[in-house]
Amino acid sequence: MNILCNNEKMRDKAVEFANLLDIQDSKVTLNIFRLPHPDRRQGFLDYPKKARINMYMEMFVKYNEERYITLAHEMVHVRQAITDGIMDEIEAETLAYRMNNISDKP
């Protein structure tokens, strides 16, 4: 997985979450962008729905106090998109909080 982001801390967290989700070896290029504040969403993922390999994805995350939980949530959706293509919000919410708690520990 090739993760691109201008914010080094966000990129490092995305790499950490990819490792926790065991998708670090996926043939995916993920570009993470800052979501503008007027947008009411916390984040979203844009990707071609038919592709499963050599995918290019764009993730947009609002850079607020919830940014790392949102990043973790969207990283779960990345895993869902490259495995079975089924987006499960309950799984994304549950795993996002677990992964964020794991990554906060020294």
At 20-67, the pLDDT tens digits run 999 999 999 999 999 987 888 999 999 887 766 678 999 999 999 999
Q: Which residues pair with 9 in a beta bridge?
A: none
Per DSSP, the three-state class of 46 is strand
Long-range contacts formed by 41-50: CB under 8 A, 24+ apart: 42/66, 42/70, 42/73, 43/70, 43/71, 43/73, 43/74, 44/74, 45/74, 45/77, 45/78, 45/81, 47/81, 49/85
Max CA-CA distance within the chain?
39
Give the pLDDT score at 79: 95
- Residue 104: pLDDT over 70: no
Model-wide pTM > 0.75: yes
Q: How many CA atoms lie within 13 A of 91 on its CB side?
A: 11
Q: Which of 55, 56, 59 is nearest to 45 (CA)?
A: 59
Give the pLDDT score at 68: 95
Give the pLDDT score at 52: 62
- Residue 105: pLDDT over 70: no
